[in-house]
Amino acid sequence: MRDKALAFSGWVDRGMFWITPSMLVLGLIFSPLFLSWVPAIPYLFAYITFVMGVGCGRDHLKQVFSSPLPIILTLILSHVVAPLAAFALGSVWFGVSSPYTVGLVLFTVIPLGVSSVLWIELSGGSLALGLAMVLLDSVLSPVIVPGLIQLFFGTQLTFDTLHLMRDLLLMVVVPTVLGIVIYERSGGRFKQQAGPILLPISKIFFMLVILLNAAGIAPYAYELRGDLLSVIPAVLILVALGYMLGYYSPLLLRLKRPELLVTVSFAAGMRNNSLGLVLALGYFSPQAAVPVVLAILVQQPLATLHQFILRKFKPYPLKESLHS
Q: Which residue has the higher pLDDT, 228 or 23?
A: 23
- Residue 66, Cβ neighbours under 10 Å: how many? 7
Domain range list for the chain: 2-313
Asked whether residue 296 carries a pLDDT value surpassing 80, the answer given is: no
CA-CA distance, 99 to 89, in Å (whole number)? 13
2-313 CATH: 1.20.1530.20
Q: Which residue has the higher pLDDT, 155 or 118?
A: 118
CA angle (28 as vertex; 86, 31 as ends), nearest 5: 125
Helix, strand, coil percentages, rounded to 5, for the chain: 85, 0, 15
Q: Chain-wide mean pLDDT for the chain?
A: 81
Which amino acid, residue 160?
Answer: D
Mind listing the pLDDT tens digit for each residue in 22-75?
888 898 899 999 989 988 888 888 888 788 778 777 787 777 778 889 999 999
pTM tops 0.85: no
Q: Which residue has the higher pLDDT, 134 or 223?
A: 134
Mind listing the pLDDT tens digit for each residue in 121-130?
667 788 778 8
286-308: b (≥16 Cβ within 10 Å) or e: bbbbbbbbbbbbbbbebbeebbe
- pLDDT of 28: 84
Mind listing the pLDDT tens digit for each residue in 242-279?
999 999 999 888 888 888 999 999 999 999 877 787 77
- Residue 180, Cβ neighbours under 10 Å: how many? 22
Render 35-73 in DSSP notation, one character per residue.
Answer: GGGGGGHHHHHHHHHHHHHTT--HHHHHHHHHS-HHHHH
